[in-house]
Amino acid sequence: MSVVSAEHNVPLSRPGLPGLRGLEHIGIVVPDLTQATTFFETVLGWPTVFTAGPFFDPEGDSMSRNFDLHPRSRVNQLALVRSPLVNFELFEGSAPDQLLMWPRLLDVGGLHLAVYVDDIGAAVDYLVTNGCESLGGHKPLGGPEEGPGAEFGHVRTPFGLYLEVISYPAGRAYETAADILAFNPAAPDAIAREAIVIA
């Protein structure tokens, strides 16, 4: 059955992958798993659910056949980390052809995590105090994202991951004429609430 969002009259059930319930986890390879999981837990408040490993195939082709990796690739350990609405699967491993440099924000495959906060200045200061490098401090959002108090900032974590903090307490400009709104952790709408209802 298709449920309709009262806010924007948008069907919540859409065509696509059969049986899709939502995003379950995001996988990220890190250079130091202990450093990364400590940061996720102590700085962001996202605990480790479990760890596992190692995983490797010393003679066969399991790693290339199943994961498109060099056959002698090795996952030393992985950790599943829980945030409120999505899990993160963090990996530490090695491969003969492994690239050791983090992709920059505009490199193909580059990524960043963005978290919504109530106070950008306080968040950036807190992250810097906890070992992050501030990339330009905090600044106002522009274009379709501008609005009263709408700001953002980027940092690089001690283990290399790019992290964005963002806030738009009075909404963003695009919302006034949009048919559908982006997910807002500070104010989940009907689409988000429907997605987490247990059938």
| pLDDT confidence of residue 142 | 95
pLDDT at 147 over 80: yes
Question: How does pLDDT run across 17-27, given as a tens digit for each residue?
Answer: 888 778 899 99
Average pLDDT of 50-65?
A: 96
pLDDT at 1 over 50: no
* Percentage, residues of the chain above pLDDT 90: 76
Give the pair of three-digit tokens for residue 77: 């350990």
Average pLDDT of 77-100?
A: 95
pLDDT at 139 over 90: yes
- Res. 197 pLDDT band, cuts 50 70 90: low
Question: How does pLDDT run across 115-129, given as a tens digit for each residue?
Answer: 999 999 999 999 999
| Angle at CA of residue 156, ends 151 and 157, nearest 5° | 115
User: What is the rounded CA–CA span in Å between residue 8 and residue 173?
Assistant: 16
Whole-number average pLDDT of the chain: 89
Q: 47: closest CA among 4, 80, 85?
A: 80
User: What is the rounded CA–CA span in Å between residue 33 and residue 51?
Assistant: 10
Prediction pTM value = 0.86
**Omega of the bond prior to 47 within 30 degrees of 0, cis?**
no
End-to-end alpha carbon distance in the chain? 12
pLDDT at 9 over 50: no
* Percentage, residues of the chain above pLDDT 70: 89
| Angle at CA of residue 161, ends 33 and 151, nearest 5° | 140
Residues forming beta bridges with residue 77, ordered by sequence position: 92
Domains of the chain with CATH codes: 101-199 (3.10.180)
pLDDT at 110 over 70: yes
User: What is the rounded CA–CA span in Å between residue 145 and residue 164?
Assistant: 15
Q: How many CB atoms lie within 10 A of CB 161?
A: 20
Contact 110, 104 (CB under 8 A): yes
